Structure 1
Amino acid sequence: MVFITRYLDLFFTFVSLYNSSFKIIFIMLNMCTLYLILTKYKETYDKDGDKFRIEFLIFLCVTLAMAFNAEFTILELLWTFSIYLEAVAIIPQIYMAYKSGTFDKDVSFYVLMLYSYRSLYIVNWIYRYEVETFYDPIVIVSGFVQVCVYLIYLSLYWCKSEENGSKDTVKKEALYPLHI
């Protein structure tokens, strides 16, 4: 949902062949990932354990997009929705990992890479503001929210793995004091 709603401008605005090509490639790769999740890896999904109500996040992002946007047009609303949704998109996965007690080093490394990626965007925003005097408050606030979500997960993992005595996997029992 994040990238399909973000890149709908493909059909209405041409920036460059490079830009259009990579948007199409990115959407196709995301669709391939979704296909694999729904087919090849569907047995790894714990439907009974997945109790997170994602519709609340989607509703929140739609509401924010309607209330806080740069321009009240369909494409702008969809783009703004995608920015808000990207900031919170990992929350269901973090919730599922927390509830199942599967905080392992691979998941934490993945979240650390996402954190690093978004942190580099923050550096880019500072640079663009200094050089071009450009800033987008929607993107900046959403980016900081996203970084905070990643930091919460990483802090939970590292604190609890220290208590557990292992950084490979955090046992569910070590998480009980932080029951959600």
Structure 2
Amino acid sequence: MKGSKRPIHAVKTWFRRQPPKMKVFLAVLIGLAALLFLRIVVHDHDSLFVAAEFVHALGISVLIYKLTKERTCAGLSLKSQELTAIFLGVRLYCSFVMEYDIHTLLDMATLGTTIWVIYMIRFKLKSSYMDDKDNLATYYVVIPCAVLSLFIHPTTRHHTVNRILWAFCVYLEAVSVLPQLRVMQNAKIVEPFTAHYVFALGVARFLSCAHWVLQVIDTRGRLLTALGYGLWPSFVLLSEIVQTFILADFCYYYVKSLVGGQLIVRLPAGVV
């Protein structure tokens, strides 16, 4: 066992000594390698999106266990859950009027569980809610997304309001986790169930991002033109990438904690 741990320890020590720019470069390199691996192994890249939904559902299941069994919502951001409910509600409306499919049913289930989580935090487990640490004002997140959606939205033949709403939910989804990250940064220590949930979000975002990137590569860019013209296709892809990178830093510390045999994730200052 000691022999197997030495190479891991050596890699961790080497990585820790690298300057920030080198760490970013290595992270991008690892991401590209993971994309290449998924492209070779997964033949139907649409299944990556379904896998992302499944991992997200798994993360919510961890939350449900935490709230029902542990009877505490410490470490969870009510604001992130409310932002999630908002973008899911808007996306459901857009799905019904624009493109009803299987993902609509998945979103309905996710919205239902998210509303239940909000109810538990706001009413049943309010005494354990860390209100002082959930201090990122939601208008810092919602207003920029709303303004951006007014100027950059799909160019389809649907009603203008529906197209703006669709863009709004795409942008809001990309940054809805920011209040949760702020809570964890303020607390410095992330307990296991919250850490599992956020890590699941990170994996789901990477799979969703991989789905879009590989689809663009497979169609040689035709997918972007199918989404419309102007800046909108690029901003859809950019939103997916932003979601992934927002959670990438936390996922690094999560894996680092697991490799080190720790269940609790400790975040240094400046991570979020």
| Normalised-by-shorter TM-score class | 0.7 to 0.9
Residue 98 in structure 1 maps to residue 197 in structure 2: no
Q: Tell me the TM-score normalised to structure 1 length.
A: 0.77
- Give matches, 1:152-171, under 5 Å: 152-155=249-252, 167-170=262-265
Measure how far apart 1:59 and its partner are.
Answer: 0.9
Post-superposition offset of 1:48: 2.7
CA contact (8 A) 1:65 1:81 kept: yes
Please, which of 172, 175, 179 is the counterpart of residue 268 of structure 2?
A: 175
Which amino acid letter does the alignment assign opposite residue 87 of structure 2? V
- The answer on 1:83 being equivalent to 2:180 is no
Contact kept, 8 Å, 2:149 with 2:164, in 1: the verdict is yes
Percent identical among aligned pairs is 21
Tell me: CA distance 1:125–1:100, structure 2 relative to 1, closer, same or farther (3 Å). Answer: same
Aligned pair partner of 1:4 in 89, 100, 115: 89
Greater Cα shift, 77-86 or 37-46: 37-46
The one-letter amino acid paired with 2:211 is: N
Larger of the two Rg values belongs to structure:
2
CA distance in 1, matches of 2:261, 2:108: 42
Unaligned runs of 5+ in 1: none
CA distance in 2, matches of 1:6, 1:85: 10
Q: How does 1:103-114 map to 2 (within 5 A)?
A: 103-114=190-201
Report deviation, 1:142: 0.6
User: CA separation in 1, counterparts of 2:245 and 2:202?
Assistant: 9
Q: Tell me how far apart the structure 2 counterparts of residues 179 and 14 of structure 1 sit (CA, whole Å).
A: 38
Which residue of the partner structure matches residue 38 of structure 1? 122
For 1:124, what is the secondary structure of its paired residue? helix
Q: 1:154 to 1:73 in 2, by over 3 A?
A: same
Aligned residues of 1:158 and 1:167 also touching (Cα < 8 A): no
The count of residues paired between Structure 1 and Structure 2 equals: 173
CA 91–131 in structure 1, closer or farther in 2 if over 3 Å, else same:
same
Q: Quick check: 1:116 aligned with 2:225?
A: no
Matched, 1:26 2:110: yes
Residue deviations 1:9-67, cap 9 Å, x none? 35534635x55544433333332222222222222212233321121111111111112
Q: Distance in 2 between matches of 1:23 and 1:52?
A: 25
- 1:97, 1:152 → 2: CA distance? 12
Contact 1:119/1:147 (8 A) holds in 2: yes
Residues 149 and 23 of structure 1: CA distance in aligned 2, closer, same or farther (over 3 Å): closer
* TM-score, structure 2 normalization: 0.54
**Deviations 1:142-178 (Å, cap 9, x if unpaired)?**
111111110132345667x69xx8733356xx735x3
Distance 2:162 2:148 in 1: 15
- C-alpha distance in 2 between matches for 1:117 and 1:11: 24
2:141 is aligned to 57
Whole-Å Cα distance in 1 between the matches of residues 162 and 248 of structure 2? 31
How big is the shift at 1:5? 1.1
2-side partners of 1:13 and 1:69: how far apart?
A: 14
Structure 1 113/170 Cα, relative in aligned 2: closer, same or farther at 3 Å?
A: closer
Distance 2:194 2:107 in 1: 26
| CA shift digits 1:81-131 (9 cap, x unpaired) | 111111111111111111122323433332222121121112221343214
